[in-house]
């Protein structure tokens, strides 16, 4: 009979070493040759968040987008998130200037606004960001409707984020919203083509660009 305190499974317990080996594996297996240094840092952490090196081929960075996001965060830009999962995935300790993290899904005005607009709460929440969109880093990891709403907002106003991280996940509208972002390119952006994406990937991109250059 196994003793109660006996370890059944042996595994690596050094957190720093786990990170080191994980990033080394990503750099060995993924083709990162087309990325700038800032883009590579973001790409590696986005791959790490989902465990799929193959997404490297579908990551799209508009020219200077990663550098724009890094500079904006260093200057104290707000981070506007489409979901609590994105907001909660951002590591506050990595933020360079005590940056405000905004998710409007809990705003008491949101349900009525969504009904009035005949849209999802995630899309209506974009309207509540208002002037804060200007110069912000926007991270969309969950709702394609939020990304479409942001694109529509930019189409009718002069509000422009420093960077849009557009990686919503799903089977309805996700791929289409990201292609709309890539094709229209109204602001610097980072996108992941296709259905794949998610809150963890969006937060990982923010965390990568919020930290010191690696």
Q: pLDDT of 162-177, one tens digit each?
A: 999 999 999 999 999 9
Query: Would you please indicate which residues are annotated as catalytic (active-site) residues?
Result: 48
CB 180 within 8 A of CB 60: no
Answer whether residue 12 shows pLDDT above 90: no
Q: What is the distance between the alpha carbons of residues 191 and 13, in angstroms, rounded to a whole number? A: 34
Angle at 166 between CA 28 and CA 56, to 5 degrees: 15
Residues 6+ apart with CB under 8 A from 148: 123, 173, 177, 180
**Tens of pLDDT, residues 75-92:** 999 999 999 999 999 999
Q: How far is CA 65 from CA 1, 26, 69, 113, 130, in A?
A: 59, 22, 6, 32, 22
Mean pLDDT to the nearest integer, 196-203: 97
Q: What is the distance between the alpha carbons of residues 77 and 132, in angstroms, rounded to a whole number? A: 9
**Confidence at residue 3, expressed as pLDDT on a 0 to 100 scale:** 58
**Confidence at residue 214, expressed as pLDDT on a 0 to 100 scale:** 54
**Confidence at residue 15, expressed as pLDDT on a 0 to 100 scale:** 84
Q: Is the pTM of this model over 0.95?
A: no
Answer whether residue 63 shows pLDDT above 90: yes
Half-sphere exposure of 93 (CA within 13 A, CB side): 0
**Tens of pLDDT, residues 118-175:** 999 999 999 999 999 999 999 999 999 999 999 999 999 999 999 999 999 999 999 9
Answer whether residue 5 shows pLDDT above 90: no
Nearest residue to 126 via CA among 151, 159, 150, 157:
150
Q: Is the dihedral of CA 185, 78, 55, 57 positive or negative?
A: positive
- 9: buried, middle or exposed (CB in 10 Å: 19+, 13-18, 0-12)? exposed
Phi and psi angles of residue 138, each rounded to the nearest 5 degrees, phi first:
-105, 125
CB 61 within 8 A of CB 39: yes
């Amino acid at each position: 009979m196994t003793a109660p305190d006996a370890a059944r499974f042996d595994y690596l317990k050094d957190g720093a070493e786990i990170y080191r080996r994980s990033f080394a594996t990503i750099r060995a297996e993924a083709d990162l040759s087309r990325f700038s240094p800032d883009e590579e840092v973001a790409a590696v952490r986005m791959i790490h968040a989902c465990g799929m090196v193959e997404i490297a081929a579908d990551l799209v960075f508009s020219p200077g987008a990663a550098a724009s996001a890094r500079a904006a965060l260093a200057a104290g830009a707000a981070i506007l998130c489409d979901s609590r999962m994105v907001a909660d995935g951002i590591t506050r300790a990595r933020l360079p200037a005590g940056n405000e993290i905004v998710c409007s899904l809990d705003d008491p005005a949101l349900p009525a606004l969504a009904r009035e607009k005949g849209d999802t709460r995630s899309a209506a929440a974009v309207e509540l960001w208002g002037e804060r969109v200007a110069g912000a880093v926007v991270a969309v990891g969950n709702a394609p409707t939020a990304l479409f709403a942001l694109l529509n907002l930019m189409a009718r106003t002069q509000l422009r984020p420093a960077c849009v991280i557009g990686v919503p996940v799903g089977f309805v509208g996700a791929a289409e919203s990201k292609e709309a972002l890539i094709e229209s390119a109204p602001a610097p952006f980072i996108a992941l083509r296709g259905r794949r994406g998610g809150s963890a990937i969006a937060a990982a991109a923010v965390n990568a660009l919020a930290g010191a250059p690696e």
